[in-house]
Structure 1
């Protein structure tokens, strides 16, 4: 699976290198679809703030989404993200109100399963990119170029360590 992921990423890089800026403009840019505003985590909790999901007073660590101005229990927010990523197979994280937000809250958190959530989220995003790439008329040509590059050893990269041959340095 890791080999496929690294090959797929290499394929995307070859595609963008081949197509140039026009491919970047035409493809769906996931970053532009989501808010760039961060979340804030407070240790001190303002009085009488209710969680946007369970509507109970928050008396523990609080998560605040700046763009939509909603407050959450940490546990409620984690469950919301897990549901979106693992159950709904979403490629974008949203507040309950529908406001899109970034993955920064996962990256910067100390949640035990944050790597699993990020992996699932990025896998969905890669699937969307692959679908967009397949719609391009020159996709087959790029895929052929990618496959061809996989079959021939590069000067700087060898698939097999035994392919390396050392020669005496001329004096």
Structure 2
């Protein structure tokens, strides 16, 4: 399957909303629920407009992961750009019907290729739960290095989990 990443646009609102609704239960197993309000189309549209504005200001960048037909397979983002520290934080999610096909690995590679042209960001941090081995493998395959595991556990959807921290550093030119 061919994988592409496309910068988030306001015109993506309806298809992205349906993707999020269809995968809500699945995503809630790994990340905190976004709340009922998020799954209201009007609220969702307003949030998307804010994300696109944030992106246009150079504070974050949001991508949709799509196949060759344009079907949304997932999302991949760099957020919290910190130009003073030359760092951003990675986040991604793949729809339940598409897991296990290497999509996250391919999408992350595409994202890393794109940011080689992004001036000012030389390090990317990422976090995943200790039991999310698939995500740990995606990060490792793309050159992320494990840094540490949080001392304490956090409550995630009723379960105590440990968070593992990773970092990627741009190779010197």
Q: TM-score normalised to the size of structure 1? A: 0.29
Q: TM-score normalised to the size of structure 2? A: 0.29
Between structure 1 and structure 2, the one with the greater Rg is: 1
Which has the larger share of strand? 2
Which has the larger share of helix? 1
